[in-house]
């Protein structure tokens, strides 16, 4: 039996075969993605995708823990990374450690992810030194939407590049085992990938990153509105609509349930029950 991948296994993939990752929020889809992915991210995007929030800002720690537990139960091989939600890690390294340790103890995940470059470097070092592998996340950091004024592509102007590249170097130096590059221009993502010793995982970045991640519901074609960088590899929303329409039609026509779906009395004259 192959053991579950751990943070150092992902770190060792720098410059090698591309790292494949998706978000996962629930046990059955985690089990399917586990057959194909190196790591599964229980992203705080679950607040928007599963719970209808407009941003990730309101997501509570307990929600991350419940979905984290589901994904760990549903998977066997992939590293499971759980996002630290807004307000649970920014204040100080010790607050971050307390909450990240709770996530690891209660979910049995293999790493946490947090947003921020240089401003989080001290915290990343504090957590890693105390046994918590950290994936960093720079470029567009959606938890800062209220400061940024929207979900905006980063590094459009070359003048912005140095600050973002410095963020990447500093999280790597602080001990992050990988870094997500979200919604940034492709040449900047490539430059960062060349400049730092840890894997870059792109989302709306560049095929030159060391790996790629997407929100599963977006790439499956279930989410109604998706950013430009999402390719829809499936049409699950349309498939669900067709299935539910057929169900509704058959219930209304009384053709469902059919004889094979109903239980009969147990007697010598009737068939044995289906159970
Ligand atoms: O929450 C999330 O889904 C993420 C990925 C998009 C990287 O942080
Ligand atoms: Na996230």
| pLDDT tens-place string over residues 202-240 | 999 999 999 999 999 999 999 999 999 999 999 999 999
> Would 249 be classed as within a structural domain?
yes
Find the CATH number of the domain harbouring 22. Answer: 3.20.20.60
Is 118 within 8 Å of 44 (Cβ atoms)?
Answer: no
* Residue 87 shares a structural domain with residue 123: yes
Q: How far is the CA of 180 from the centre of ligand 1 (A)?
A: 8
pLDDT tens-digit profile of 99-151? Answer: 999 999 999 999 999 999 999 999 999 999 999 999 999 999 999 999 999 99
Q: How confident is the model at residue 270 (pLDDT cuts 50, 70, 90)?
A: low
Cα distances from 234 to residues 25, 216, 245, in angstroms, run 18, 10, 19
What ipTM was reported for this prediction? 0.99
pLDDT tens-digit profile of 155-169? Answer: 999 999 999 999 999
The pLDDT value recorded for residue 26 is 97
* Residue 94 shares a structural domain with residue 166: yes
Q: Is the pLDDT of residue 2 over 80?
A: no
Is 174 within 8 Å of 128 (Cβ atoms)?
Answer: yes
Q: How confident is the model at residue 182 (pLDDT cuts 50, 70, 90)?
A: very high
Residue 241 structural domain: 236-275
* Residue 191 shares a structural domain with residue 228: yes
* Residue 36 shares a structural domain with residue 126: yes
Overall number of domains in the chain: 2
182 is catalytic: yes
The pLDDT value recorded for residue 89 is 98
Side-chain half-sphere CA neighbours of 224 within 13 A: 4
* Residue 261 shares a structural domain with residue 224: no
Say which range, 7-21, 141-155, 164-178, 192-206, has the weakest mean pLDDT: 141-155
* Residue 20 shares a structural domain with residue 59: yes
Q: Which ligand is nearest to the CA of 144?
A: 2
Distance CA 245, CA 249 (A): 6
* Residue 196 shares a structural domain with residue 223: yes
Q: Which ligand 1 atom sits closest to the C-alpha of 115?
A: 8
* Residue 99 shares a structural domain with residue 227: yes
* Residue 249 shares a structural domain with residue 271: yes
pTM: 0.95
The pLDDT value recorded for residue 272 is 60
* Residue 133 shares a structural domain with residue 250: no
* Residue 173 shares a structural domain with residue 82: yes
> Would 1 be classed as within a structural domain?
no
In the numeric block, which tokens belong to residue 118? Answer: 């240089």
Task: Name residues whose C-beta falls within 8 Å of residue 273's C-beta, 6 or more positions apart in sequence.
Answer: 263, 264, 266
> Would 2 be classed as within a structural domain?
no
In short, whether 44's Cβ falls inside 6 Å of ligand 1 is: yes
């Amino acid at each position: 039996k192959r053991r579950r991948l751990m943070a150092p296994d992902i770190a060792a993939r720098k410059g090698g075969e591309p790292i494949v990752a998706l978000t996962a929020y629930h046990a059955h889809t985690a089990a399917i993605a586990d057959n194909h992915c190196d790591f599964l991210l229980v992203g705080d995007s679950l607040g928007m995708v599963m719970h209808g929030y407009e941003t990730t800002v309101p997501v509570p720690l307990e929600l991350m823990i419940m979905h984290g537990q589901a994904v760990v139960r549903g998977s066997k091989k992939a590293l499971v990374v759980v996002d630290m939600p807004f307000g649970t890690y920014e204040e100080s390294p010790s607050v971050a450690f307390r909450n990240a340790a709770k996530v690891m103890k209660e979910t049995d995940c293999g790493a946490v992810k947090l947003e921020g470059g240089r401003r989080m470097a001290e915290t990343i070092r504090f957590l890693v030194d105390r046994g918590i592998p950290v994936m960093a996340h720079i470029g567009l950091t959606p938890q800062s939407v209220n400061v940024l004024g929207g979900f905006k592509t980063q590094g459009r102007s070359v003048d912005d590049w140095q600050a973002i590249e410095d963020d990447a170097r500093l999280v790597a130096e602080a001990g992050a085992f990988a870094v997500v590059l979200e919604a940034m221009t492709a040449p900047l993502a490539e430059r960062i990938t060349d400049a730092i010793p840890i894997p870059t995982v792109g989302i709306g970045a560049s095929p030159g990153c060391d790996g790629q991640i997407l929100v599963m519901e977006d790439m499956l074609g279930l989410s109604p509105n998706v950013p430009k960088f999402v390719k829809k590899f499936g049409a699950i929303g349309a498939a669900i609509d067709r299935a539910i329409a057929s169900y509704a039609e058959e219930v209304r026509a009384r053709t469902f349930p059919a004889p094979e779906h109903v239980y009969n009395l147990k007697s010598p004259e009737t068939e044995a029950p289906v159970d």
